Amino acid sequence: MTLLDQRVAIVTGAASGIGKATSLLFAEQGAIVGLVDIHETKGQQTLEQIQKAGGRAFFMQTDVSNPDLVRSAVEQTYAKYGRIDILVNNAGIGMQKLLHTVSEEEWERLHHTNLRSVFLFSKYCIPYMMDAGKGAIVNVSSVQAEATQKHFSVYASTKGGINALTRGMAIDYARNNIRVNAVMPGCIYTDDLHRSIENHENPEALKQFIETMQPMYRAGQPEEVAQLILFLSSDMASFITGSCHTVDGGYLAQ
């Protein structure tokens, strides 16, 4: 018996990094995974990888900042399987800029991609979960929500919003047996980080700089975040709701 046997899950940002690792793990644990991503080629690659391993999934190319496309992805999933048990709001983009240099368009793009998408996917999934009398939502936040570093204020505002939404939704839907939690990753080795290190004028120095900021002296792997998301999505976390959990190698404890 696997942890997510026959559960229907939607994972956003499933084509890369944490979302991809989560989708692969969910499928391995018996879930049928609705892969949502804006990136068609990489989304199809994730789908193929899952299917090759004998898992079940389907890909929905979707821009999570577009309300019509979000509603359509949720409706498509329900139409296919008649249920949505798990929602992982993971899609997100970064920004490291001083606030006065951020244009209104950039603010909007970041907020629509990182925060409004959580509102929209939750808004459209929750009625189905209420009808079913259960559900689990995991939102991917960041340690930046709690301890913002320099030049991260605008990005941090999206993640702080996610933590607030997580707690509020958890309270409002607890009676419906819908659990809502967040994970706050620290520094995680994703393609972007590998690329930044490779393209840096002194890759070894940047790598060392990143590592010395971590109590465990290393960045995390996407799979290490996926394991926490799996736990929170599964019945093993049946009494856990409204919590924002770090998965940061001790970064926030410093």
- The nearest distance, CB 245 to ligand NAD, in angstroms, is 12
As a whole number of angstroms, the distance between CA 31 and CA 197 comes to: 35
Position among 8, 10, 15, 33 found at the interface with ligand NAD (CB under 6 A): 15
Give the number of other CB atoms < 10 A from CB of residue 130.
15
Window 70-89: contact mask with ligand NAD (x via CB under 6 A): --------------------
Paired tokens of 68: 């019509």
Does position 191 interact with ligand NAD (CB under 6 A)? The reply is yes
- The nearest distance, CB 143 to ligand NAD, in angstroms, is 6
Nearer residue to ligand NAD within complex by CB, 19 or 235? 19
**Which three-class secondary structure state does DSSP give residue 116?**
helix
Cβ contacts of 74 within 8 Å, gap of 6 or more: 10, 84, 121, 124, 125, 128
Q: Are 81 and 125 in contact (CB under 8 A)?
A: no
As a whole number of angstroms, the distance between CA 44 and CA 47 comes to: 5
Helix boundaries (H) for the chain: 17-28, 40-52, 67-81, 104-111, 117-132, 153-173, 191-199, 203-212, 222-233
Nearer residue to ligand NAD within complex by CB, 17 or 135? 17
Q: Which residue in 253, 228, 100, 126 sits closest to 178, CA to CA?
A: 126
Enumerate residues 33-72 that contact ligand NAD by CB under 6 A: 37-39, 42, 62-65
Position among 4, 7, 10, 19 found at the interface with ligand NAD (CB under 6 A): 19
Does position 224 interact with ligand NAD (CB under 6 A)? The reply is no
Does position 17 interact with ligand NAD (CB under 6 A)? The reply is yes
Enumerate residues 98-117 that contact ligand NAD by CB under 6 A: 113
Catalytically annotated residues: 155
Q: Are 95 and 106 in contact (CB under 8 A)?
A: yes
Window of 8-16, 100-108, 118-126, 203-211 that interacts with ligand NAD by CB under 6 A = 8-16
Q: Are 196 and 247 in contact (CB under 8 A)?
A: no
Position among 22, 142, 163, 234 found at the interface with ligand NAD (CB under 6 A): 142
- The nearest distance, CB 18 to ligand NAD, in angstroms, is 4
Catalog residues that contact ligand NAD under the rule CB under 6 A.
13, 15-19, 37-39, 42, 62-65, 90-93, 113, 140, 142, 185, 187-188, 190-192
